[in-house]
Amino acid sequence: MKLDILAFGAHPDDVELSCAGVLLVEKLNGKKTGIIDLTQGEMGTRGTIETRQKESADAAKILQLDARENLSFADGFFFNDKEHQLSVIAAIRKYRPEIILCNATEDRHPDHAKGAALMYDAGFLSGLSKIETSLNGVLQLAWRPKYVFNYIQDRYLHPDFVVDISAVMDAKIEAIKAYSTQFYNPGSLEPQTYISTPDFLESIIFRAKMFGKMIGVQYAEGFTSKKVLGLSGFDAIVQNNT
């Protein structure tokens, strides 16, 4: 199945926290979307592999994803090396996305910057036909996504562009709350963590409001890009008074 937009996250919930809104906006625009989680988040203080699998499947339904997979890399200990690059290349060639969304280039969790570097390298290498990968015993064709964008997650980074997600903000919060073991849940008996306080969920909303304010809309998600973005015309710009 070919996807238009494929989002990668080091941990299940990275994508929901950072760019679930854009995925849903694009889905409602008729695009095919998917998520590939690099690890199962097994080092997280709260929850288990099983609960996180159920949670990410629930979030996938809310986001109307066409595909979601997990590469089962080691949480905290995966590397940007040949072995991991080949696994990511096989996933990119399987779904042939035009655009990849991936972790922030700098962030609180060290897996995020590692994930970003891995995606940049694999995204490029995937286009080299002499690198062989196979799916179900069949050699895959080379595929290079046109853009790899980094979403902004925990640490503040100045965005290169932001996307209006006002129409889908409620669904984004619902997708985040699908991870009931990870985020604020008054009924949970597990230890409190950096991300399980009510303040953390509020900070997601404030960040989206702040990015939205930059372009004169209610909520937005922010991204950085190594490539310069070209516009086909000025109609694509949100032309609000800011």
Return the residue of 4, 14, 154, 221 that touches Zn ion, per CB under 5 A: 14
**Distance in Å, CB of 109 to Zn ion, minimum:** 5
Gap between the Cα atoms of 30 and 89, Å rounded: 25
Interaction between residue 11 and Zn ion (CB under 5 A) = yes
Asked if residue 181 lies in contact with residue 188, where contact means CB atoms within 8 angstroms, the answer is: yes
- Environment class of 142 (CB within 10 Å of its CB; exposed 0-12, middle 13-18, buried 19+): middle
Query: Residue 35 — φ and ψ, nearest 5°?
Result: -130, 135
Provide the mask over 81-120, with x wherever binding to Zn ion is found by CB under 5 A and - wherever it is not.
----------------------------x-----------
10 Å Cβ neighbour count for 198?
Answer: 10
Residue 224 to residues 71, 107, 115, 209, 221, Cα–Cα distance (Å): 24, 13, 15, 18, 11
Token digits of residue 72:
């089962």
Q: Which is nearer to Zn ion, 107 or 121 (CB)?
A: 107
Nearer to Zn ion, 94 or 114 (CB): 114
Is 113 within 8 Å of 106 (Cβ atoms)? yes
Considering the complex, state which of residue 68 and residue 109 has its C-beta at the smaller distance from Zn ion. Answer: 109
Q: Based on the shown chain and the rule CB under 5 A, indicate whether residue 164 belongs to the binding site for Zn ion.
A: no
52 touches Zn ion (CB under 5 A): no
Nearer to Zn ion, 53 or 166 (CB): 53
* CB nearer Zn ion, residue 140 or residue 153: 153
Binding part of the chain for Zn ion, among 13-21, 46-54, 90-98, 115-123 by CB under 5 A, reads: 13-21
Residues that bind Zn ion (CB under 5 A): 10-11, 14, 109
